[in-house]
Amino acid sequence: MTLFEKIVARQIPADIVYEDDLVLAFRDINPQAPVHILLVPKRAIPRIGDAASSDQSTLGHLLAKAPEIARRAGVGDTGYRLVINNGRDGGETVPHLHCHILGGRPLSWPPG
Ligand code: AMP
């Protein structure tokens, strides 16, 4: 079971901000911005590079929900960034696909 599956199963506590049948969103334990939320599919896909065509509807749902969650977190108007890290050089540390929702301060580009 992945760390995030344990959060989905309520085996590990998390500050959950949104849930439906397919996805769960909770605050990152080590926030990099005033708003830092992780949005995950409940059924683990290791990473975006491993997603199958059968995952398309879940992935579409996840991305479609991100703006709603950002709005609920208060950054809908000020702006936010969605980030999906894939693999070693992408900075992935938890092998359960997750979309970071970051906002609440100006974010620099490009990433370091
Ligand atoms: P990534 O580096 O893209 O794989 O992102 C993993 C994220 O998970 C990091 O931003 C961590 O701070 C976050 N994280 C790790 N453990 C927890 C946890 N128990 N609850 C919430 N966020 C976590």
pLDDT given for residue 29 in this prediction = 98
Tokens of 37: 């939320």
pLDDT value of position 86: 98
C-alpha 55 to ligand 1 mean position (Å)? 22
- Residues serving a catalytic function are 98
pLDDT in the model for residue 5: 98
91 backbone φψ class: left, alpha, beta (φ>0; ψ -120 to 50): left
pTM over 0.95: yes
The fourth-level CATH superfamily of domain 3-103 is HIT-like (3.30.428.10)
Q: Where are the domains of the chain?
A: 3-103
Average pLDDT of the chain, as a whole number? 98
pLDDT value of position 112? 81
- The span from the CA of 29 to the CA of 5, in Å, is 15
Please report where in the chains the tokens 């050089």 appear, as a residue: 89
pLDDT, position 96: 98
Contact (Cβ atoms closer than 8 angstroms) between residue 94 and residue 4: yes
Judged by phi (left if over 0) then psi (alpha if -120 to 50, else beta), residue 99 lies in beta
CA of 18 to the centre of ligand 1 (A): 17
